[in-house]
Structure 1
Amino acid sequence: MPLHVTDYTWTQTDSAVHITVPLKGAKPGQVDIVSTDEYLKVNFPPFLFEAFLFEPVDDDRSTAKVGNGVAVFSLPKKTSRLWDNLVLSTNDKAKKKEIREKALEKHQQKLSSQSKQKAEKQQAEKKYALKTMMKLEKEGRDRIQQMKDAEREKTTTELAAWQLRQKQEAEAENQPRGIRPPPQGGRAGSREEGRTPVKRGQRKQAEPPPPRPGGNIQISFTPRVFPTALRESRLPEEEEWLRKQAEARRSVISAAEELQDLREEERNPDWLKDKGECFGTGDFQGAVNAYSLALRLNPQLPALFSNRAACHLKLRNLHKAIQDASKALELLTPAVPANAAARARAAVRRGSAFCELQLYAEGLLDYEAALRIDPQNEALRADAQRIRAIIQGSAANQDAERGGS
């Protein structure tokens, strides 16, 4: 049975009615509104506001605004005059039912029409986009064809000129020799002193260039980020880890621009991470605040989530500790030697939070994951053994209780 809203307010002028309905803490996405010329319904379970309007209104020009905890309606009147009441004063249930059914039917028709118009608009936009794309592709093909035609024409012209030049040279060689005038400053048939006669069809060979001087080129190799040998490393995972780290550093720039009111050092996530040193002094809430601000600047830095999880553990915010440790483990992928220690710390912190919540099976899984990363850690091994003993003891007690019953 819905709870009817009665603490609404309304005002009117000669031309319009304004209604304000409190939403009782409901979010805008949870509010369902049905509005026609004679009926208005605002449904946000378990509350319901329903109004059978005193006179018809212009539904096409009506507006509704939802926000700040209220829904405000502006309903233009079809007849310009003041109403005696906002709603009908009749108690005729049959008439109200008829008005309600007509309103719902009209509302469904309106929604169907809007959906159809939206689909037609999307179809028209798709057609326009396809047509524009085809036009651009055609223009591109035409432009490439013009370039090809121009290049072909240029090549044809150059080839014709070369053929004409070859033909002229051949004709000049095939002409009969006549008496040629002697060169100026000498007698006929004389040659310049020191010039070697060149036979017909031969060309003087150019002197080859001298050999280049020798030299040494210094080559230096970029050192590998990971110390493991290449044959033993997992190169794709390591490259993926380096790429994620680079993206995290780039994201700091855009986030810092949104927080211009902070001091220069406060816009540096590494500085804020160091401010988390108040964890060592026992100011766990201060450390949480520093890590939270650093995460606003760089939400891709797993160390911030892991360190904040440790602070939440101290403050007994166990569910938040699990969330932060899980986020740190999510960001610490792919698993490579460079982030092994960080993965082990995050797993232990999440396992500790599970154990504090008496979820020992989940906590043991995290401790065993940390042991697989650091199998030589005796403290981790001892903690995991204690958790197993607790689980086995609980199971034994349950079996004893079942046997006694």
Structure 2
Amino acid sequence: MTDRHPSIAPPLSNHRHVVATSVYVSLRRESEMPLIVKDHTWTQNQNTVYISVPLKGVKPASVHVTCTDEYLKVSFPPFLFEVFLFGSINEERSEARIGNGVAVFTLQKRRNESWEQLFTNIDKDKQKQIREQAVLKVQQKEAEKSKAKAARIQQEKKYALETMMKLENKERDRIQKMKDEECARATAELDFWRETQRKTAEEKENQQKTRGTGPQDNQPVNQKTVTLMRNTGDTTSGQRSRKQTAKDLPAPRSAGCIQISFTPRVFPTALRESRVPEEEEWLKKQAEARRAVDTDLAELDDLREDERNPDWLKEKGDKLFMSGNYQAAVNAYNLAIKLNRKIPALFSNRAACHLKLRNLHKAIEDSSQALELLKPAVAANASARLKAHVRRGTAFCELELYVEGTGSSVILLSCKTHQPLQSYKYRVILYREIFALKSLL
């Protein structure tokens, strides 16, 4: 037997494994290589080349074309058609039509001449260089297209934005014009109403002056008329009768002074039996409000005895409100309300502070609470009720709740006899016109 070194003769199994691996790699490379299409056809004339490439049953969506001045490639896996053109073409004027199982290319020549053949004979290095140049050119062209597309989209967006802004500005100007016209109309109506009121007041004043001087002016006329009517006899008899009448007049009576006293009444209006129950209920509420004072609050420990009074705190809050310190005024009203929750003026004044601080919901709550405490509606609380309605209506309108705000303004406009609140009334007239316009828009 002959001895053999193990390293000289490798096992048979390892040799088979190496052979199988090399065969697998070779088959994989062959499977990845495209199939070159050679059954194409082409024709030409002096300025155009026509190439027809069959697609072998591949869908047109899977066809990819790369074309430059010297190179044409049609890739539709697993097939490939590639040609290095004999002459130069104008790729911008050339076109391709893909469909019905064939790709037809119409290539425009740069020179009007006949080609000897479709392909040019060049070495592999030159072919590689042309391929790389074609890829770079295609990439550059795609980048330019993407940039141009992005610029076009940006320009379209800019144009759309400018158009929208113009439309919005036009609409805003139209609305502002309508608002100005409505404000001017409301102001003109208000001025006309004021002028009418002034003329009415002047007429009344003139009538009163006429009534005051009327009897004195009319007396001589009546006397003359009577004299003329009676002057049917002689003149001497008329003079004699006038002298006798003057002698018969009695002496003037002595002046006297009469003392009168009126029934004491809290309300400034005349007494009406139909309003007596409501007035008594209001007076009862006022008396309860004065008695309902809670002095067991921790906030009152730092106050003096004379300062533990809702009326004093109300006056303090009013002064702070007039000075513009609205938050401090709210604090004063809060403490006064904790002492006595039956005084409607505290809630109404706190609502005014909340309006200044733009706490509109709180202003509505305080105004509503004040109106609840101001029931029943009597002449003594008419001014307070109107102020509460004005503040609540203003808060509703600031919140763009025009229906609720119009309800308060209607109640305010129904009052015609309270002169101190006429300015509120005029302002509500103007607000109602403007808000009616907004609701229409």
Range into which the TM-score falls when normalised by the shorter chain: 0.3 to 0.5
More helix by share: 2
Question: Larger Rg: 1 or 2?
Answer: 2
TM-score (norm 2): 0.39
Greater RCO, 1 or 2 (C-alpha within 8 Å, sep 6+): 2
Query: What TM-score comes out, normalization by structure 1 length?
Result: 0.42
